[in-house]
Chain A
Amino acid sequence: MLETARELTLEAAQSAAINRSSKSDYSSRTYSAAHVKKLLDSRHEREVLDGMRRVISLMYHSEPSLNFFSAVVKNVASANLEVKKLVYIYLVHHAEAEPDLALLSINAIQKSLTDSNPQVRAMALRTMSGIRVPVISQIVSLAIKRGCGDMSPHVRKAAALAIPKCYRLDPNTLPQLMGYLSTLLGDSQYFVVGPAVAAFLDLCPDEIDLIHKNYRSLVKKLVDMDEWGQLATLRLLTFYARKCFPRRTRMVKPSAPESFYDDENLQDDQNDGEEYEAPVMDPDLELLLRACKNLLMSRNSAVIVSVVRCFLYLAPSEYIESAIGPLVALLRSPQDMQLIALYNIVAVALRTPKPFARYTAHFLVHANDPPHIWRLKLEVLTILFPHCGRHWKGVIIGELEHFSKGTDPDLVRESVRAIGRCAQGDTSTSGMCLRILLGQISSLDGNLVSESLTVIRHLIQQDPASHKNTVLQLVKHLGSTTHPDARATIIWLVGEFAGVDPENNIAPDVLRVLIKGFADETEMVKQQVVLLGAKVYLHHLLQNPPKEQPEQTESSTEPEKSAPQQDFQNEWNDNGTGGSPDADQPHEEGHTPKANAREAKEGEEEEEKEEEDRITLLWRYILLLARYDTSYDLRDRARLYKSLLETPSSTQLANLLLLAPKPVPHAPSPSETRKDLLIGSATLVVGTDAGYHGLRGYTTLPDWVELGHEPDSSLRVEDVKPDTSATQASLTAGARLDKALKEHQSTVAPVRNRNGVPMAADPAGKKTLDQWLQEESEEETETESETDSEGETDSEEESGSEEESDEDEEDDDESEEETDSESEAVQKESTQLLG
């Protein structure tokens, strides 16, 4: 009592001192290293604690704190819990740098493993497994084994958490660790199971044999676990379900009211007649899905996404529909999580857009959304667009139009594209979208104009037949648009439509007008003009086949090189002199083809060439212009078209080349490429940057197991394990442990066989080790159960310390022969000692 009072006074004095001095009093400035060392060496706990705090501060300040190592390690056996904690933190942080000194502390930590306070035991286990010195892997493994059988669930939890760490220390311990895991996975405490599942996923996610008998208990505990345990378990069970529950279907006769909707199904199935396939769910899978439904009100966004993943990949559609709302609700969270939620929403919406429609209002872009957020919101809006009613469609289009007039060029571009995608997704509104876009090409914003035109081009190409007039409208804009992209796009479109309605086509006229300003155009536009010329000329050739004959003879008789040269000369002259008549010609434009046709029948070469065939003249003139252009690319192109169109024999080839039907462009949703990535993974967010296989550690969901290949469902029947509380209560702790160990042994053996990898240690030694431990732990737990958690008896402690002294020797050995401090050596030693 007196002691306590004194402590209290000291504590008060200290906090007063802290108050007086500045708060950053622990920083190194005020205290020299020598002073800290002195504190650490002090015999007063309080001073040691003070010293430890300073050391930790140094450590976090990234200032040298390694030189205190020996002084700190001395305190590892301190009776004061706080000192111990800080020493442990220091030790884990620095052990790698000072492996030898760290090994000295193992001894004391091991002693703590048998402490009467479970908190101390758990801490010791966690620290020991955290020390990254591979030689101790066997000791850690033993410690975990002891932890697995501990009375306190906290220690068992620490054991579960230590398993992956031990595995990383030395992968050879895997078979033992899997044995421990199978014990822990069957633990009755939900907060032990969670970390055990996480360890399982880390260690051996494919060994689903360990899961079978725990499956149902895992599902039952799912709701009670903490969020992190739920996450691990949901992931495990999702993978497990794919591997163990084949997709069964059975034939069902559609009931009368449903038949309307099932028509489509019937068509798909073709031969099923009246029946259609309905999925049959495994009762065990249904158990999981029902348990998941309870998690949809979790406050943890990651849990929600995990449930969505589970429903999306495993369950029939009614389940995923119930999860859409909670998924959308994630948009309430802070912006950083909102972003991730949106990625997942997009991925889900690409598969099942319909249920999102009622949450459309959540995806309206706000003025303060950063680019990565609005980009995804716009995408969601376009995905939902076809599924909304007309009212919301109007709102969405209005929103997109609003943003397309904004000042942020990226936002403008994206919203125009979004309008295009809307039109594409719902053809009934494409007319309206087109009108909006057409309204925008007279804008002053070149960016907006060219983007709009690109989208317009896509829309026109999707349905060329009904857009003849649209092209006409666009042509009118040629006069007012200066943006090269826009002009090029329009000219290209005119070229595409050059063959439509030959009696009444504007293409030759457009060409004629464009040629006048040819010299002032940018190269991109010039290219398109030349291309347009080639197309127009080609159409002309195709429509007047008789004309081919004379040309062919002409070109075949005359040497190729001189002929065009001559022609050009003539043409040039013609045009040069006939500049003014040019202006009059267009009035007759409408009649030219007819005239041509008539003239062609007459078959007089010269007449045709010089008087009637204006298109040929035009073409020659273009070639001439292009020939003297500064761009070699343009000159090359012109030459290509020239030789292609020169000989009638290659007209068909030119037809294939120039007038080939263009593939209909389809602008997919930007996230379409991520569609197949697993919901909830980081790879889904990173996307293609993560490489072909995704980020390291990314695994796709396995395919459904084929019918007949699945593990027998009877495996999942829980055996009479201490799972139900009744049996648990009746068993003594010792008996329970016995049982667990027996199970453990039986599971360890097959595991080894399955792996086919022989253990590094010889099986004999292993066995004795197990036996020895079993005996020991039996003793221990018996005494524990007698004293009923009020601390262990002396005898037990003795046995503990005996064991430690054994290992002390071992440690000493190690530190003496530092040269061969390999794990094998330790293993052998330990087997010798223990055996």
Chain B
Amino acid sequence: MSGEIDAVYVYDEQNAPLVEHVYRSRPPSASAILPLYLAHAAPRPSLLYIASASPPVTVFSTVESNLLFLAISEVDTEPLLALEFLHRVVDVLEEFVGAPLLSTKISANYDVVAQLLNEMCDGGTVCNTEPNALQEVVEVPGWVDKLLGGIGVPGSSTPALGSTNPLKQSLAAASASQGPAIPWRRPGVRHTSNELYVDIIESLSVTMAPSGRLLSALASGTIAFTAKISGVPDLLLSLSTPGGQHAFGRKIELPVFHPCVRLAKWKEKPGELSFIPPDGRFILAGYEVDLLPIDPDLDEPPSHMEKLFLPAIVDIRKSLGTSGSEFEVRLTLNTNFPGQSASSRPGVGRNGSGTSTPSFLGGGGSGSNAPVLEEVVVSVPISKSVRHITDMQASRGDAQFTHSTGLLEWRIPTGKDAGSVSGTATLRCSVSGYPSADDDFDDSLEDADEDANATLLQGYYEAPTSYIDSSVSTTKKTRSSDPSKRKKKKKKDKEKSSKKSSRSTALKPEDVDDSGAVTATTPSPDHSKPATPTPKPQPSPQLHANSSALPTFFDPSSTSRPARRTKAQINASLMPNSASVSFSVRGWLPSGIKVDSLNIDQRRSRGLGESVKPYKGVKYLCVSKRGVERRC
């Protein structure tokens, strides 16, 4: 048994059961399973085995637009099958009852939902999830609405009136008896205005070391296609990357395709997608691009890497201020998108020329072609032990700290009234933790105390080993409130002693040049040598010294002292250790992929007049959902 879905439950925004559809056997009811599901702590995994239910069940879950979708199974079911099914249910429901799923929409269309769920899975076996095939068998009551609304609804095969129309019935019968020629496409599609849209969406995910050096940069892309075109069209979509056609196959990695895509064609000529589309919007393909390819077997840090352009870079400096309780987030925005001077870029957005000529390659007319950077939000996860954040001073935009989520969000406006988008913005905050028992001495005293401690500690840690030395630097640097240096130095020490100086470059600071591009070249080895070279690990004779020096180490007072934490140290522990930025850019893709052409193969297409020139549109979108992440 590869998949047995016993039931699908949908809960509304308040977790009240909304849809309850049982496919087989007698699983626990929707209201019975919910408390058991919710009993699990908050970020719930998508598969939960609930042994306390009767009978014991596995629960697969996904949350889509605030609705909770559960699939229940009593037997071992392939989890991905169940989850894929749930996602298809979501997609299909969106298609049939309207895009943002709302509980009111669903409850207003229960009859449609019932039919859909009934069709998609039969007796626990998932069977029919193609939206086009479902349109064949499920009628939508409001179709006249759509007709009157002027949207091109293919009338001929909608079975809304099918039963009363003998002609239609026989037609349907004829087509059905032969079986669908193309399982994903409805037969007899007719549109009054023929349109084709390609949306390429790439989601950027970049990780940067504290030094600013790039650790990884991946872009995962999705090609969404909207086909509103009559008959059975055979389309050919060609994509290209800056590197030329032969570099394409190497650049675009791990593609997945909608079943309609002819794989042989792609394999023969990467970048060419030949397919007969389903009617409506669908995901044509997915792929990913490694923007920072690094050979896994590499021993040295790569000496030269491709220049990577990032529209937004975030940096964080912490333990600032007199008591080290402040930190500063620094955001560098850059809208000098590379390759923009070349005006060969196709028209951006669908509101380009507006003519029905397939001339979208000609650069879309009046609309401005410049990519638009939007929705810039910096998120900083804040430790749970932070009570609140005060003195949030942002040079642009405004920041907000939500304690429940532990997230500091800083929104930076990029609209027209915000002036020039490019540039640097800073946000300075100061944190305060919960008062603790150790906290009761006042600051001036503490400072003195701290100094005393430090000298004492220094004495204590003045052991002739590199390990100890590194911890000395930690203690000292924490006090001197220079986290970046401290980190650097520590790394250095560590790596030096490990005699793998080659690796040290991996975490060395990188120059962020003014254009915002991060160059990932190896810095000169003596870029930032630690000021005090640390001695090599001690040879054995020092053992004697150590053992004779032991008494001082075990000064009775030594055991109790470190328990007293200084405020600076506490504040250091409250500092955030990463920041990430979210944004979206219309009209720019990190991978540089472009749609070269989209053609209809007239010889192979059927049902589309020779004279029909469908309107074509291309849209590029780059999104980064907390994707550019900086460690610190």
Contacts and interface: CB of A to CB of B under 8 A. Distances in A.
A739 interface: no
B78 A473 contact: no
Given A357-B297, A389-B298, A694-B76, A368 B626 contact: yes
Interface in A538-581: none
A14 B143 CA distance: 11
A243 interface: no
B631 A402 contact: yes
B322 interface: no
Contact of A681 (B46, B76, B159, B475): B76
B301 interface: yes
A117 interface: yes
Interface stretch (B80-88, B225-233, B524-532): B80-88
A372 B548 contact: no
A614 interface: no
A189 B180 CA distance: 10
A86 B111 contact: yes
A118 B173 contact: yes
A15 interface: yes
A723 interface: no
A220 to B, nearest CB: 16
Interface residues of A, number: 165
Contact of A439 (B47, B123, B467): B467
B557 to A, nearest CB: 9
B305 to A, nearest CB: 11
Contacts of A326: 254, 256
B562 A480 contact: yes
A476 interface: yes
9 contacts: A62-B20, A79-B163, A130-B122, A302-B80, A337-B84, A368-B381, A479-B555, A682-B58, A698-B76
B78 A302 contact: yes
B66 interface: no
B500 interface: yes
B332 to A, nearest CB: 19
Given A15-B141, A195-B127, A392 B298 contact: yes
Interface residues of B, number: 160
A94 to B, nearest CB: 12
A89 B503 CA distance: 66
Contacts of A226: 129-130, 183, 259
Interface string B500-514: 101100110000000
A737 to B, nearest CB: 15
B241 interface: no
A334 interface: yes
B57 to A, nearest CB: 9
A478 interface: yes
B490 A439 contact: yes
A340 B577 CA distance: 28
A171 interface: no
Give the 5 A-B residue pairs with the shortest CB-CB distance, closest first: A697-B75, A336-B46, A361-B216, A407-B383, A370-B43
Contacts of A298: 256-257, 259
Nearest to A684: B79
A598 interface: no
A717 interface: no
B83 A340 contact: yes
B108 interface: yes
Contacts of B296: 357-358, 360, 387-389, 392
Interface stretch (B187-195, B538-546, B583-591, B595-603): B538-546
A566 B196 CA distance: 101
Contacts of A11: 144, 160-161
Interface stretch (B205-213, B387-395, B419-427, B610-618): B205-213
A52 B111 contact: yes
Interface stretch (B282-290, B336-344, B355-363, B396-404): B282-290
B547 interface: yes
B544 A130 contact: no
A60 to B, nearest CB: 4
Nearest to A487: B559
Interface stretch (B113-121, B243-251, B364-372, B440-448): B113-121
A313 interface: no
B165 interface: yes
Interface in A382-433: 387-395, 398-399, 402, 405-408, 431-432
Nearest to B558: A479
A504 B179 contact: no
A340 B77 contact: no
A472 B546 contact: yes
Contacts of A445: 573
Contacts of A329: 253-254, 256, 286, 288
Interface string A336-367: 11011100000000000000011011101011
A305 B78 contact: yes
B122 A126 contact: yes
B177 interface: yes
Given A117-B173, A590-B548, A789-B173, 15 more contacts: A23-B105, A117-B176, A118-B176, A152-B177, A161-B122, A299-B258, A366-B580, A389-B299, A431-B498, A480-B562, A506-B547, A520-B559, A696-B56, A697-B77, A791-B173
Interface string B165-189: 1000110111011110001000000
Contacts of A630: none
A428 B49 CA distance: 41
Interface in A1-30: 3-4, 7-8, 11-12, 14-15, 18-19, 23-27
B376 to A, nearest CB: 17
A685 B74 CA distance: 15
B124 interface: yes
Contacts of B563: 482
Contacts of B537: 469
B191 to A, nearest CB: 20
A715 interface: no
A766 interface: no
Contact of B556 (A93, A205, A407, A517): A517
A480 B561 CA distance: 7
B319 interface: no
A202 B28 CA distance: 22
Contact of A228 (B125, B254, B381): B125
A517 B559 contact: yes
Given A473-B465, A791-B170, A334 B122 contact: no
Contacts of A387: 296
Interface stretch (A162-170, A635-643, A662-670, A750-758): A162-170
B17 interface: yes
Contacts of B561: 480
A366 B207 contact: yes
Nearest to B169: A117
Contacts of B553: 475-476, 478-479, 513
B24 interface: yes
A115 to B, nearest CB: 9
Contact of A366 (B122, B255, B290, B629): B629
B300 interface: yes
B156 to A, nearest CB: 13
Contact of B565 (A14, A235, A444): A444
A587 to B, nearest CB: 7
Contact of B294 (A80, A93, A361, A364): A361
Interface string A48-82: 00001100110111100000000000000001111
Given A390-B503, A395-B506, A697 B76 contact: yes
Contacts of A297: 255-257, 263, 266
Interface in A459-476: 469, 472-473, 475-476
Contacts of A158: 122
Contact of A361 (B62, B290, B626): B290
A681 B78 contact: yes
Contacts of B503: 390-391, 393-394
B79 A682 contact: yes
Contacts of B87: 334, 337
